[in-house]
Amino acid sequence: MSTVPQNAKSNASAKSARLTIRDLSARKVSAGVAPMVWLTAYSAPTARALDLHVDAILVGDSLGMTVYGMESTLTVTLDMMIAHGQAVVRSSERACVIVDMPFGSYQASPAEAYKSAARVMAETGCAAVKMEGGAEMAETIRFLLDRGIPVVGHVGLTPQSVNRFGGYRAQGRTAAEAKKIMADARAVADAGAFAVVVEKTLEPLARAITAAIPVPTIGIGASPACDGQVLVVDDVIGVFDLFKPKFVKRYAEVGAAMRAAVAAYADDVRSGRFPTMEHCFVATPQKTTKKKALPKSSRK
């Protein structure tokens, strides 16, 4: 089932058709609609490539690893998120753009979260922000929402807490863990999050959360039953190919294609096959134009 509106066939006609959080928040699969498609993007060309094919673009803090080669998302800054958020908003017209709040920019207090999120909203023009955390973030989510900032929640494996988890293992393995994640999902939904990302939990838990909460769940390594799916675009197209998480399906090998292209270019330069005269500029002889005689009728 296609969810691309008829008027989104070209970028020009899509101008007034950007999906809103209202559109997204209504998309429970239990209402008989197709699952939502979310993907991350961090740059202008990627945003342009995604725009007509996805419902939402998430400017994820995963950019710490995919773009900046960091070891985790913990060292990503608000300024980085804003710069990449601007590129994505500028280069998309239809998809709803959501920007991740980076570690340390929102956890201390609702007021601090508001200050950071307001900067993200004002400086990027995105539609909403995403925050990791469960029940402990409920007050903050409410605070932001009351002040006009829509929030996407994020429960299960929350990578900004990698040090507390001691790694990136799937969550919800014990009954107590599963109970807590379910309570977290309910808490952020009750607080007003318009969607909740469920990351790397055991499948039955993600399925149960999807059935339990009234707003859409967006799964990543979660369950086909979720109301939408999100992946890191670099994983999907094979740009990030150092390793492939189990929950990723790769649709292209862009990293390999890039290496092959660069190797061919290097080879051409070293062997003198590039550039050729076809790639050079030469002066073209200037044409001398004779003054045209005026028509008789206009002669005085």
Binding flag, residue 51, ligand KIV (CB under 6 A) = no
The yes or no reply on residue 233 touching ligand KIV (CB under 6 A) is no
Does 60 participate in binding ligand KIV (rule CB under 6 A)? Answer: yes
228 beta partners: 36, 218
CA–CA gap between residue 269 and residue 94 (Å, rounded): 41
Q: Least Å distance between CB 170 and ligand KIV? A: 14
Task: DSSP for 221-264, please give it.
Answer: SS-TTSSEEEE-HHHHTTSS-S---TT------HHHHHHHHHHH
* Binding range to ligand KIV, per CB under 6 A, among 42-50, 53-61, 208-216, 234-242: 53-61
As measured in angstroms, the least distance from the Cβ of 90 to ligand KIV is 20
CB of 221 to ligand KIV, least distance (A): 9
Q: Is 57 in the site for ligand KIV (CB under 6 A)?
A: no
Could you tell me which residues are beta bridge partners of residue 33? Answer: none
**Shortest Å distance, C-beta 73 to ligand KIV:** 6
Question: With respect to ligand KIV, which residue has the nearer C-beta, 44 or 67?
Answer: 67
Q: CA-CA distance, 120 to 151, in Å (whole number)?
A: 12
* 55 touching ligand KIV, by CB under 6 A: no
Q: Which of 132, 199, 203, 253 is catalytic?
A: 199
Nearest-CB residue for ligand KIV? 60
Taking the CA atoms of residue 152, residue 158, residue 163 and residue 165 in that order, the dihedral angle to the nearest 10 degrees is 140
Residue 152, SS3?
strand
Q: Find all residues with CB under 8 Å of 13, minimum gap 6, and list them.
A: 7
Half-sphere exposure of 231 (CA within 13 A, CB side): 19
Count interface residues toward ligand KIV (CB under 6 A).
11
Interaction residues for ligand KIV, span 118-177 (CB under 6 A): none
199 binds ligand KIV (CB under 6 A): yes
| Residue 11 CB coordination number (10 Å) | 14
Answer yes or no whether residue 102 interacts with ligand KIV by CB under 6 A.
Answer: no
DSSP 77-122: -HHHHHHHHHHHHHT-SSSEEEEEPPTTSSSS-HHHHHHHHHHHHH
Binding range to ligand KIV, per CB under 6 A, among 56-64, 120-128, 253-261, 265-273: 56-64
Shortest distance (Å) from residue 57 CB to ligand KIV: 11
Considering only residues 46, 56, 62, 129, which one is a binding residue for ligand KIV as defined by CB under 6 A?
A: 62
Instruction: Let me know if 203 is a catalytic residue.
Output: no
The CB-based long-range contact list for 217-221 (8 Å cut-off, 24+ gap) reads 217/185, 218/36, 218/38, 218/152, 220/247, 221/157, 221/170, 221/245, 221/246, 221/247
Q: Single out the residue of 51, 55, 61, 227 in contact with ligand KIV (rule: CB under 6 A).
A: 61
Single residue of 50, 189, 197, 236 touching ligand KIV by CB under 6 A: 197
Measured in degrees and rounded to the nearest 5, phi and psi for residue 132 equal -80, 150
Cβ 192 to ligand KIV shortest distance, Å:
19
Q: Tell me which stretch binds ligand KIV (CB under 6 A): 5-13, 60-68, 168-176, 289-297.
A: 60-68
Q: Provide the angle, in degrees to the nearest 10, between the axes of the packed helices 110-124 and 78-90.
A: 30
Task: Name the residues that contact ligand KIV, by CB under 6 A.
Answer: 40, 58, 60-62, 100, 197, 199, 220, 230, 232
Residues with a catalytic annotation lie at 199
